[in-house]
Structures are given as C-alpha cells and as structure tokens.
Amino acid sequence: MIDYHLHLWPHGHSAAPMSVDEIGSYCEKANRAGIAEIALTEHIYRFKQTKKILGDFFLRYPESKMRSLMFEYWHQHCGADMDEYFSVVQAAKDAGLPVIAGLEVDYYPGEMDKVASLMAGYPLDVALGSVHWIDDWPFDHISDPFVMEYWNHYGIEKAWGAYTTALEELAQSGVIDVLAHPDLIKVAGHFPSVPDEFFDRMAQTAASSGIAAEVSSAGIRKPVGEAYPAPDLLSKFFELGVPITTASDSHGIDHVGFRVGEIKEFITSAGYDRLLGFKERRPYEVEI
C-alpha cells in the first residue's frame, strides 16, 4: 500500500522548519502500518512563492464576511518556502527514505496557467488536485459555524453542482495527476437527492482526462463518516478504468496510515488489484 497524501503542518499552524528526521518519522509510522511509500503533498497555498502570484485571488469576489474569512485564512497559511520544501524532501530521498515530492493543488479558475508555471520550476513527483472552496466559500471548514450555516443559504443541490463543475475543470486543466478526495463536497454529510448524477460526471471526467483518483480514509474522521470516494463512485471509477492511489490525508504525523487495512479491503472489494505510483510525474503500477 501507499500513502500519497500527507502534510507536515496542521491547518491553523504556521509552517515549521522541516528536517529529514521528521520525514523519517513519517516513513517509520507508515512502514509499521504496511505502507511501502509516502508522498508529502503540502498545500500549494502554504508557500510564499504562491502568494506572489495568487495573493489577490479572493478579492475578485464581492466584499463580504465570507470573502474576508477566506482571504485571511489563505494569507495566514502562506509563509513557507517552496525551495526549502523541495530541498528537504530531496535530502530525504538521498538518505534512502521511501518518500516522493508532491503538492496539493487547489482549483483557481482562470489562474491555472500561473499555477502550472510555478510547479514547472520544481522537481515534482505527483500533483494532487483538490476543490476546497466554491467561489469564496470554504465549504469543508466543518468547525466554523458560520461556514456550515452557509449550506442553508447556498443549497445542497447547487453546491454539489458547482463543486462537480469545478472538479471537471480542474481535471481537464492538465495541471494535476490525481483527483484528491474526489467527493469532498460530502464532508459535512449533505447529499443531493440523486448523487449518482454527480458521481457519473466525476468518474467520466477522471477517465476522459487520463488522471487517477485518490481513495482516502480521511472522510472516516469527518461528519460524513465514510471514505472518499463513496462506494458507488469507486465502482464507477473501476468500471471506467480510472486508476487509484491511496491516502490518509494526515495533517501532522498522527493519522499517517489511518485505517489503511479498511482502505485495502474497500478497494479490493471494488475490484482493484493495483495502485498507481508516481516518479517525476510519470505513473507506474504498484501491486496491492
């Protein structure tokens, strides 16, 4: 198994100095869980290099409490140095640790060319693609009552539609390799009347774009209480030949390899006997 979605810094915490020893501790915990390789995939907005090109992104939306919240949140998190990040991951590789260098890349409508140019300057192994907000609404901030109340204003059907459209556009951008937590929109436990309509679109866009989908145990820790993707969506991925990676989406070391045994059973029950690994953004098959 592999854990291809890991973060060094928890949400709400400033970026701390990195070290090979810290990465080694991640690898040790992963190994104890039966995981052969990990990918460090820090959010691309955590870096000051991203701030230079996207720092005013949320100002495109009308002034509001939500815009201020999202703008401030984004700017609170973008103090790390991307050069240092990749340098330390390379040092960990050179030390023989089973780790690859990744990024988690959110969707910035109209700005993905800038994101691609930034990424091209670094020795990246895998790029995860995520949709964490709809316009200026960070719908997965489940601990914020104001953000959660906005579900009542926006509406479940409309939210699922907007999310799925953003996911399709991100998949078709050519910037990413893997759709991370592909049905993240369910995080708070809200489902549309006919989820299969959206699952069909998600599966088809992954298949037509030639990218992989992530199977993540992170949803088990959230109000929705199930893995990403939902069983019906995973079945659709399998039917359309969409390859998969596996992940814990741990923010910090605590959840590295979280519920890996359940994820293994989940994917093999769906028919998968292989995962997809990456090196220098080139995929290769990994037997489960």
For 18, the 3-state DSSP assignment is: coil
What pLDDT sits at residue 272? Answer: 98
How far is residue 240's CA from residue 71's CA, in Å, rounded to a whole number? 38
Of 135, 246, 143, 129, nearest to 178 (Cα)? 129
What's the average pLDDT block by block, 10 residues per block, for the chain (288 residues)? 96 86 98 98 97 98 98 95 98 98 98 98 98 98 98 98 98 98 98 98 98 98 98 98 98 96 98 98 97
What pLDDT sits at residue 15? Answer: 83
What pLDDT sits at residue 260? Answer: 98
Q: What are phi and psi of 15, to 5 degrees?
A: -65, 130
Query: How many helices (H) and strands (E) would you count in the chain?
Result: 10, 10
What pLDDT sits at residue 12? Answer: 78
The structure's pTM equals: 0.97
Strands (E), 8-70: 37-43
What pLDDT sits at residue 106? Answer: 97
What pLDDT sits at residue 16? Answer: 82
Between the alpha carbon of residue 9 and those of residues 43, 99, 177, 203, the distances in Å are 10, 17, 22, 31
What pLDDT sits at residue 192? Answer: 98
* Dihedral over Cα of 6, 139, 106, 176: its sign: positive
How far is residue 134's CA from residue 206's CA, in Å, rounded to a whole number? 20
CB 268 within 8 A of CB 28: no
Q: Which helix (H) or strand (E) holds 144?
A: none
Tokens of 44: 């691309």
CATH of domain 2-287: 3.20.20.140
Domain boundaries, the chain: 2-287
What pLDDT sits at residue 129? Answer: 98
CB 158 within 8 A of CB 193: no
- The total of other beta-carbon atoms located within 10 Å of residue 287's CB is 6
Residue type, 155: G
